[in-house]
Structure 1
Amino acid sequence: MEIPRMRRNLCGQVVHDLGFKILAGQVKPGEALPQEPTLCEQLGVSRTVVREAIKSLAAKGLVESRPKRGTIVRPSADWNYLDSEVLAWHASADGDGQHLRFLTEFRLTVEPAAAALAAKRASEDQLDRIRAALEKMAANTDSVEAFKEADLRFHTEILHATGNPFFSPVAGAIAISLATSLKVTNRQPADNPASVPLHRDVMDAICRRDADAAREAMHRLLADAKRRIESASDATNGTPSA
């Protein structure tokens, strides 16, 4: 027998379905979602669930209610791209790889600065956590999933080590970007070892409290990831690599 879903899970599924359609361009900015009765019928849910889902999408900046027009998709510039669900929907709908390129550009702007701040401000406990994440990466190069988890922990610990709370929300964007990019650049365990020395350069610079070297090392690391993403994308699209 099928186990009934809790209402919050059902609402979450409706949020996911509608959010993905918006990010995939199936409902474009300025267009209206189907009317409430239609959504209830299409999705097989109650009006209460639909209303809760619309409130959640509105909180993410995706939609707004307008008199006599219903629920309208807002301009993409209003969307909260740092929201973890919005990021995930965008990544899933990223048919041409543009979303991943944007995320990589974002990381190239933010993470070198974070590494420099971490070099100046990290506590000894935070340095230990960065080291532990790197060592876990090095010990798990034969596992795509374990390597990805340790890689994400490495970058997240550096963001936390800045001592600046505004870097913490960026961790969600980093997580989605990293998970997506590793699917492109590290599809097999054999792809993992090459990036470990680049991560070690970042860690060593942070532990030496050399902010400039940390910034440069993180930039090299992300520039290498960008190059590999572009190379993999060219190979997929049949475009000769430069």
Structure 2
Amino acid sequence: MTPPADATTAGRARTPIDRIGATVLNELVQSIVTGEYAPGDLLPPESVISVQFGVSRTVIRETMKRLQEKGMVTVAQGRGTHVNPSTSWNVLDPSVLTAMIENDSTLGVLDDLSVVRGALEAAMAAAAARTVDDDARTRLRESLETMEAHVDDSAAFREADVKFHLAVMELADNGLAENIARVLIAHAVGSDRFTGVDPAHAFELTLAEHTAILEAISAGDAEAARLAMSEHILGSWSRRRLPSKKRS
């Protein structure tokens, strides 16, 4: 993940990128994520990319600035634009994360995402347990009851599932962790690879795991809440994960 911009950069107003520029940007993000342009590669000059996409050099120049903000390239005057390794990318940037998931043939990105999400949400569940009160217990119980009421409706059940997790996050009162977890959820749940294939009685298993989380938080048992949330997220991913080739 790239570090935050310094105060000088953050204070500058960014020029809005138009629809054409956004299309060019997304295509270049895809090209870098898929390895068409590998780490260390020098991107073609602005004039070449301009002809390739049929847009002005001004659009390409703005696109390169956006790629640099995402940590995907380094623009050096007189030396061209080099592609950065994935460890430098801002993986919480929506277009970067979406492209990584879409091109995740080994499911390695989603494996890593589940581990990170599990750790974050486990910590937040523990925090929620430490400060739980009657209002929090009621809110979580109502979220679970909504899941139970929609166990025969896949879309509604999944929506209620996400809302349960968001409720736990809000109760934890950790804005940074919640923000990161929300990004991970938002850009994963729309992927067929993330959804995978549910085994028999998947929703019943999910309900049982959410009940364990609720009971641990309600009891004020931080360690039990942490373990219950971690086991749920990693176990749920393991159950529905599609077969894939191993990462090289």
- 2:25–2:67 CA contact under 8 A, matched in 1: yes
- 2:73–2:84 CA contact under 8 A, matched in 1: yes
Residues 79-104 of structure 1 deviation map (CA, whole Å, 9 limit, x = unaligned): 11122222111100101111111111
Measured in 1, the distance between the counterparts of 2:136 and 2:56 equals 48
Aligned residues: 228
TM-score for the superposition, normalised by structure 2: 0.79
Q: Pairwise CA RMSD of aligned residues?
A: 2.7
**Cα offset, 1:215, TM superposition:** 0.9
Which blocks of at least 5 consecutive residues in structure 2 are unaligned? 1-15
Specify which of 224, 245, 248 is matched with residue 213 of structure 1. Answer: 224
Residues 187-224 of structure 1 deviation map (CA, whole Å, 9 limit, x = unaligned): 99x64343122112212322332212211211221231
Specify which of 65, 69, 80 is matched with residue 55 of structure 1. Answer: 65
Measured in 2, the distance between the counterparts of 1:205 and 1:83 equals 33
Aligned counterparts, 1:2-151, within 5 A: 8-121=18-131, 128-151=138-161
TM-score for the superposition, normalised by structure 1: 0.81
Residues 106-156 of structure 1 deviation map (CA, whole Å, 9 limit, x = unaligned): 123222111101112356665555444433333333344333333222223
Measured in 1, the distance between the counterparts of 2:62 and 2:143 equals 39
Measured in 2, the distance between the counterparts of 1:117 and 1:142 equals 32
- 1:148–1:179 CA contact under 8 A, matched in 2: no
Specify which of 168, 180, 183 is matched with residue 195 of structure 2. Answer: 183
Cα 1:74–1:153 change in 2 (3 A) is: same
* Partner SS state of residue 71, structure 1: strand
Cα 1:137–1:128 change in 2 (3 A) is: same
Measured in 1, the distance between the counterparts of 2:60 and 2:159 equals 35
Identity level (%): 32
Residue 212 of structure 1 aligns with an amino acid whose one-letter code is: E
Measured in 2, the distance between the counterparts of 1:122 and 1:12 equals 44
Residue 160 of structure 2 aligns with an amino acid whose one-letter code is: A
